[in-house]
Amino acid sequence: MNQQSSLWSDAWRRLLANKAAVAGGLVLMILIVLAIFAPWIAPHSYSYQNLDLGAQPPSAEFLLGTDTLGRDLFSRILYGARVSLLVGFVATAVALVIGVSWGIVAGYFGGRVDSVMMRIVDVLYGLPFIIFIILLMVIFGRNIWLLFAAIGAVEWLTMARIVRGQVLTIKNQEYVLAAQAMGVTNMQMFRKHIFPNILGPIAVYATLTIPQVMLLEAFLSFLGLGIQPPMSSWGTLIRYGVESMEEYSWLLIYPGLTFTITLFALNFFGDGLRDALDPKISSD
């Protein structure tokens, strides 16, 4: 127990020493707070249309200007953060649940179970999932919860591979063999010995999955197959921005900038977390 807590405090120290990761983490925290408190922070309604105020450039009244229907862009970006971040976290959670359980079962039981399960992962890897998500959205309607589930169902494959690899290594460690010899049940083994030890890689990979998931959602929304109006994610805002960028370039620039900065922050934070938790595998 003692050694475990020192592993996490070591990692914490290394994370704080990494400036890019700290900056990324701060940006993320600010974004999450802004998203949660959007209804109180947003100066205007995200859906109220006032055509008299259509496409106003940024001003003191409308910090980032208004869109062609007179909606305040700053408020829309704030509300968009709720949708985009929610998709990021929920879909990643779905991917985590599927991937971690799959990987643990495959790695722990090994043998035939393992080879069948991993062969399935290999085959699924080769499939064009973007196309299947589009297919699902078309068939079952453009429902936000379906979007979460569909994206999550795509992103679990790598997680399953990583977890399986970790479990395989841990399984053959002496303390696990000792526990096995003492007659510890499978369930206890997962909880006490295996799960705590794969938590690090899971945390790292989950952080790196979030930006991928957000990209996927924005991609679908950009094509008009994701989030439907009046709700809007950053992808939807970018889509509208592109439609009117010739005259009103701020409608593209601000949502695009917000989105890119967020992806940067997530990637830097994820990389920092990886370096902190496992200095051996850090990329140089």
Partner 1 sequence: MLQVILKRIAIAIPVILVVASITFFLVRMAPGGPFDAEKVVPPQVMKNLNAVYNLDAPLIIQYRDYMFNLIQGDFGPSFRYPGRSVTEMIFTGLPVTFELAFYAILVAMIIGILAGVVAAVKRNSMLDYIPMTIAMIGICMPTFLLGPILVLFFGINLELLPVSGWDSLPGDKILPSITLGAAYAAYIARLSRGGMLETLSQDYIRTARAKGLPEYKVIIKHALQGGLVPVVSFLGPATAGLIGGSFVVETIFQIPGLGRFYVEAAFNRDYTMILGTTIFFSTLIIFFNLLSDIAVLLMNPRARSEP
| Site of interaction with partner 1 (CB under 8 A) | 123, 125-132, 134-140, 211, 215, 218-219, 222-225, 235, 238-239, 241-242, 245-246, 249, 252, 256, 259-260, 263-264, 267, 283-284
Q: Which residue, 111 or 128, has its beta carbon nearer to partner 1? A: 128
Q: Which residue, 45 or 267, has its beta carbon nearer to partner 1? A: 267
Give ∠ CA 163-169-171 in degrees, rounded to 5. Answer: 95
Q: Is the peptide bond before 39 cis (omega within 30 degrees of 0)?
A: no
Min CB(223)–partner 1 separation in Å: 6
Nearest to 76 by CA among 86, 89, 63, 90: 63
Q: Which residue, 29 or 138, has its beta carbon nearer to partner 1? A: 138
Strand partners, 16: none
The two tokens of residue 62 are: 């409308």
Nearest to 259 by CA among 221, 225, 228: 221
Q: Which residue, 61 or 122, has its beta carbon nearer to partner 1? A: 122
Spatial distance between the Cα atoms of 31 and 37, rounded to a whole number of angstroms: 10
Q: Which residue, 90 or 137, has its beta carbon nearer to partner 1? A: 137
- Cβ–Cβ under 8 Å, residues 154 and 216: yes
Min CB(119)–partner 1 separation in Å: 9
Q: Which residue, 8 or 132, has its beta carbon nearer to partner 1? A: 132
Query: Cβ of 184: how many Cβ atoms within 10 Å?
Result: 15
Min CB(211)–partner 1 separation in Å: 8
Q: Which residue, 190 or 219, has its beta carbon nearer to partner 1? A: 219
* Length, in residues, of the chain: 284
The two tokens of residue 144 are: 């936000």
DSSP conformation letters of 123-138: HHHTS-HHHHHHHHHH
- Cβ–Cβ under 8 Å, residues 79 and 125: no
66 φ, ψ (degrees, to nearest 5): -120, 160
Min CB(232)–partner 1 separation in Å: 15
Matching residue, tokens 């290999």: 122
